[in-house]
């Protein structure tokens, strides 16, 4: 009887050992197919008050970036000229640009995506018109780019759709139309000699 019990215990121990030996092997196979742990999600960013991102340091330039691109293309097409007028056409896709060369002759062209697509064509004007253009250009201490900066400082978040060098009440001014994201059009004029805002509406 004692012998049978001893044999039974030995057999049971062998079965347990064999069974236990199978578990680590199975665990190893399961571990090999277990997907890696998920990476933690990046921390959520809290939007600033108002729900919009803060403007970049060049925020005012962004309101005139396409204007400046069109202006550069036009000025490259007539070396030595001065930009006197630029405005959007065809829903902002095309810019109509006028520049005046050193003798006062006005040239007009259309610019799209930074390239001149029509012109430049020369305006047929008399000596008096050319003299008027030269005087206006000479009186403007601010070029179109500096004027754009002054205008966008007066209308934050605006986009300039038209900018013209003109005369108003005996002063040479840069007149502009500025569109804000709410769809409102603002009219701003700055003194072309001092940069001071002389008129603002909208």
Confidence of residue 192 (pLDDT cuts 50, 70, 90): very high
Give the Cα separation of 202 and 197 in Å (integer). Answer: 14
Q: What length does the chain have?
A: 202
Task: Kindly report, residue by residue over 38-47, the tens digit of the pLDDT.
Answer: 444 444 433 3
Q: What pTM was computed for the model? A: 0.69
pLDDT tens for each residue of 145-157: 999 999 999 999 9
DSSP strand pairing (171-179 vs 185-191): antiparallel
**Domain range 61-201, its CATH number among 3.50.50.100, 3.10.450.40, 3.30.70.1230, 3.90.1640.10:** 3.10.450.40
Considering only 60-74, 149-163, 172-186, which range has the smallest mean pLDDT?
60-74
**Residue 105: CB atoms within 10 Å:** 18
107 - beta bridge partners? 99, 122
């Amino acid at each position: 009887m004692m012998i049978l019990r001893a044999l039974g215990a030995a057999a049971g121990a062998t079965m347990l050992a064999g069974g236990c030996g199978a578990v680590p092997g199975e665990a190893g196979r399961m571990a090999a197919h277990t997907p890696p742990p998920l990476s933690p999600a990046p921390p959520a960013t809290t939007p600033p008050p108002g729900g919009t991102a803060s403007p970049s340091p060049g925020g005012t330039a962004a309101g005139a970036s396409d204007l400046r691109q069109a202006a550069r293309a036009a000025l490259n097409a007539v070396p030595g000229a001065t930009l006197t007028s630029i405005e959007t056409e065809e829903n902002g896709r095309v810019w109509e640009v006028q520049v005046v060369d050193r003798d006062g002759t006005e040239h007009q062209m259309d610019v799209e995506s930074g390239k001149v697509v029509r012109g430049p064509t020369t305006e047929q004007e008399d000596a008096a018109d050319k003299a008027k253009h030269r005087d206006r250009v000479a009186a403007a201490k601010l070029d179109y780019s500096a004027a754009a900066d002054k205008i966008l400082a007066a209308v934050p978040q605006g986009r300039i759709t038209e900018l013209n060098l003109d005369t108003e009440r005996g002063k040479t001014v840069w007149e502009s139309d500025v569109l804000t994201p709410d769809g409102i059009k603002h009219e701003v004029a700055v003194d072309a000699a001092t940069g001071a805002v002389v008129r603002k509406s909208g």
